[in-house]
Amino acid sequence: MTIPADVRRESPRSKRSTILAAAIDQFGRVGYDHTKWASIADEVGIGQTALYHYFESKAHCLLTIMRLELADTVERFDAATDGIDDPADALRAAVGAALAATPSDALQRRILQNHLDLLAAPRQSVKEEAERLRSRGLVQEIEARWTDLIQRGIEAGDFADGDPRILGRLVLGMIISVWRWYRPDGPLTLDQIVETVRDAAARMVRE
């Protein structure tokens, strides 16, 4: 995972990235609802009260994890497609970047997809609401990038004529659905999944 700017600026003594890593592991394996806030403190080796120096609640931590993953998604899309003029090649590159993942990345993406409903309604906490709004903005950025890519392909005559926003959402939906069922120890490797999704995405925009 690309390290976001707000994590790179941490003090060397900060426990924030360690807390996030422990939360991703526990939320991903055990489930958010079944993870006790105190268990994250125990794993990091700090008192539960010290957690509130970094996150005011378990929900604040979850929303931060979601926002960081969404920001990373934008960065990976941009890095993968930068300088690629051919829309079909850009589509293949974007799919590959979207599905490249370490086991920890896969957990974080599963957490994001399992809790997207949190972004629908305002939060009472100021900090939670700030993360929610930033996440919603990033979702819009991601959808806009896929829409623009499909639009370029339609205008170039490489993709079939259609609504680029709908096609972009269909391709993106197929990609993100992978994180609901993919397991690093499962029968399919990510490389195999990438090729399958690339072929399916290409057929979707050309038919």
Domain locations along the chain: 59-206
Residue 207: what pLDDT?
A: 78
At 36, the amino acid letter reads K
pLDDT at 11: 53
pLDDT (average), residues 48-61: 92
The per-type count for the chain, helices as H runs and strands as E runs, is: 10, 0
CATH label, 59-206, candidates 3.40.50.300, 1.10.599.10, 1.10.357.10, 3.40.50.720: 1.10.357.10
What band does 1 get if pLDDT is binned at 50, 70 and 90?
Answer: very low
CB burial readout 128-153, b (16+ within 10 A) else e? beebbebbeebbeebeebbbebbbbb
